[in-house]
Amino acid sequence: MTTAMVVGIVILIVLVWLALKVVGFVAKLALYIAMALVAYWLFAQAFGLPFPDLHAYIPADAGMH
């Protein structure tokens, strides 16, 4: 195994590790956004904020066949 191969393998391992760190950060960010949206959905009326109207997005006959 030459020095160039060892350096290449080390660089590859570091790049994979960094890619996994980025994926983990994006997943955590998406989870926090989802939790904030659910909390707003549940507690908006209690704080006097405008409550999202579910019927504006789902037709009245959705799923009723």
Q: Tens-of-pLDDT digits for all 65 residues of the chain?
A: 899 999 999 999 999 999 999 999 999 999 999 999 988 888 887 888 787 666 666 666 666 65
Tell me, what's the pLDDT at 31? Answer: 97
d(C-alpha 21, C-alpha 26), whole Å: 9
d(C-alpha 41, C-alpha 50), whole Å: 10
Domain locations along the chain: 19-65
Tell me, what's the pLDDT at 35? Answer: 96
DSSP 43-58: HTGGGTPPPP-GGGTS
Q: Indicate the burial class of 36 (C-beta count within 10 angstroms; 0-12, 13-18, 19 or more).
A: exposed
